[in-house]
């Protein structure tokens, strides 16, 4: 078996949808038949377990595995209510992030890539140790950005770190592939000039776009229930995440939900909001 | 149809375009600041001390920047503003 691919989901700014994206990307890859593990790097502020609906199965955590207080297998939770191929490693809720040692993380990730097709690293916000560790061993990066001025600025900072502070950059002088994922996009607000457009964001960050997730009430609803948005194939946000998975797997899928939806006459009469 | 609306709005700057303009300026500035070499702040302090032996200048009168000019050449640009006749 060839070695698995390591993705980091990062953003700089908090609250833009890193964990939502990590959960949906991991679940989507698993449902596409890829054996996938997603790691929560947000030590002290564990949340991925909630979004994946497995908070009651947490016994051991990432830091314990790293410090060899348990076996790696014991820290891995099988999220089989979503997919037989989906696994996660929860962050520690009590330990300080100083325990995230370079060697420890390296050892765990190098073991995981032997067993899994995809390893998704859910980065914490900020540019401190947790975020640096989450990106260091990545082969590719997904940068999550809201069409909002502070989020775009922080993403640009993160792109700077991704260029210089990964294993591939330091050891081989290579830049890891970076994918832009825009979340909470509202085409009608873009049209009325109150929100940065995809083009505006691209002009500033200029990295390839892997997806645009439209603003949707289903995202909160999904978190409430512990089911990743990608499972909701009726909703545009879920469908947009499905498209992201296809693009990550190499399919050329056109962007959807980036233009204002033209409602039919009846839709306008009964649709409402 | 949106063409007509765009025309109506043409002379009014939208908040999104203000955001974009602000971001472009800021991001360009931050990128160049982040790409400066590690030794830059120390060198800047030392050069400032040398100049001050001869001319009284404020610290923000000295501006330094390293720029890439082509593949194998970088240029250190040093600009010093100083008041004449003091």
Of A194, A196, A204, the CB nearest to B27: A204
User: For strand A118-122 and strand A86-89, is the pairing parallel, antiparallel, or unpaired?
Assistant: unpaired
Helix pair angle (A18-31, A236-248), 10° resolution: 70
Over range B60-81, report the average pLDDT: 85
> Which residues from A are below 8 Å from B17, CB to CB?
193
d(CA A210, CA A254): 10
pLDDT reading at B86 higher than 60: no
Which residues lie across from A209 on neighbouring strands? Answer: A180
Torsion sign over Cα A48, A54, A59, A65: negative
Strand order in the sheet with A5-10: A77-78, A86-89, A36-40, A118-122, A5-10, A140-145, A178-185, A209-214
- CB under 8 Å to A30, separation ≥6 — which residues? A36, A79, A82, A83, A84, A85, A86
**Are B23 and A153 within 8 A, CB to CB?**
yes
**Strands, DSSP E only, in A41-99?**
77-78, 86-89
- CB contacts of A195 in chain B (<8 Å) are 16
In whole numbers, what is the pLDDT of chain B averaged over residues?
A: 82
Q: Does the distance separating the beta carbons of B15 and A193 come in below 8 Å?
A: yes
What are the structural domains of chain A?
A: 5-252 (3.40.50.300)
Nearest to B16 among A157, A197, A204 (CB): A197
3-state secondary structure labels for all residues of A3-56? CCEEEEEECCCCCCCHHHHHHHHHHHHHHCCCCEEEEECCCCCCCHHHHCCCHH
**Burial per residue of B2-40, b for 16 or more beta-carbon CB atoms within 10 angstroms, e otherwise:** eeeeeeeeeeeeeebeebbeebeeebeeeeeeeeeeeee
Chain B partners of A145 at a C-beta cutoff of 8 Å? none
pLDDT in tens, A51-83: 999 999 999 999 999 999 999 999 999 999 999
Cα dist from A93 to A55, A133, A163, whole Å: 12, 17, 30
ipTM at complex level = 0.82
Minimal CA separation from A161 to chain B, in Å: 10
How many A/B residue pairs have CB atoms within 8 Å? 42
Q: What's the pLDDT band for B74 if we cut at 50, 70, 90?
A: confident
Percent pLDDT > 90 in chain B is: 30
pLDDT for A273 equals: 46
Residue spans per domain, chain B? 2-80
A203-237 residue pLDDT tens: 999 999 999 999 999 999 999 999 999 999 999 99
Closest CA to A21 of A153, A202, A208, A212: A212
Shortest distance between the Cα of B4 and any Cα of chain A, in A, equals: 13
Q: Which residues of B touch A160 (CB under 8 A)?
A: 31, 34
């Amino acid at each position: 078996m060839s070695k698995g691919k390591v993705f980091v989901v990062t953003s700089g700014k908090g609250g833009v949808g890193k964990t939502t994206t990590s959960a949906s990307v991991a679940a989507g890859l698993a449902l596409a038949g890829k054996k996938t593990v997603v790691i929560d790097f947000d030590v002290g502020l564990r949340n991925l377990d909630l979004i994946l609906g497995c908070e009651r199965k947490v016994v051991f955590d990432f830091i314990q595995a790293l410090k060899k207080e348990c076996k790696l297998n014991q820290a891995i939770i099988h999220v089989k209510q979503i997919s037989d191929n989906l696994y996660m490693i929860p962050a520690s809720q009590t330990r300080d992030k100083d325990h995230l040692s370079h060697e420890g993380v390296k050892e765990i990730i190098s073991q995981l890539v032997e067993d899994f097709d995809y390893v998704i690293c859910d980065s914490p916000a900020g540019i401190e140790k947790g975020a640096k560790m989450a990106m260091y061993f990545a082969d590719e990066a997904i940068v999550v950005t809201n069409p909002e001025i502070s989020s775009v600025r922080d993403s640009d900072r993160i792109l700077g770190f991704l260029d210089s502070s990964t294993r591939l950059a330091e050891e081989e002088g290579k830049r890891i592939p970076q994918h832009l994922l825009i979340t909470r996009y509202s085409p009608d607000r873009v049209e009325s000039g109150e929100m940065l457009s995809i083009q505006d964001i691209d002009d500033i960050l200029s990295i390839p776009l892997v997806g645009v997730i439209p603003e949707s009430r289903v995202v909160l609803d999904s978190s409430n229930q512990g089911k990743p948005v990608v499972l909701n194939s009726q909703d545009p946000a879920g469908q947009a995440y499905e498209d992201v998975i296809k693009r990550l797997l190499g399919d050329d899928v056109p962007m959807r939900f980036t233009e204002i939806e033209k409602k039919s006459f009846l839709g306008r009469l009964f649709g409402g909001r | 149809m949106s063409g007509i609306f765009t025309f109506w709005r043409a002379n009014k700057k939208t908040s999104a375009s203000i955001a974009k303009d602000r971001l472009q300026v800021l991001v360009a500035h931050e990128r160049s600041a982040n790409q400066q070499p590690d030794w830059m702040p120390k060198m800047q302090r030392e050069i400032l001390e040398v100049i001050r032996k001869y001319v009284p200048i404020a610290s923000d009168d000295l501006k330094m920047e390293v720029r890439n000019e082509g593949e194998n050449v970088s240029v250190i640009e040093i600009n010093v503003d100083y008041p004449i006749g003091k």
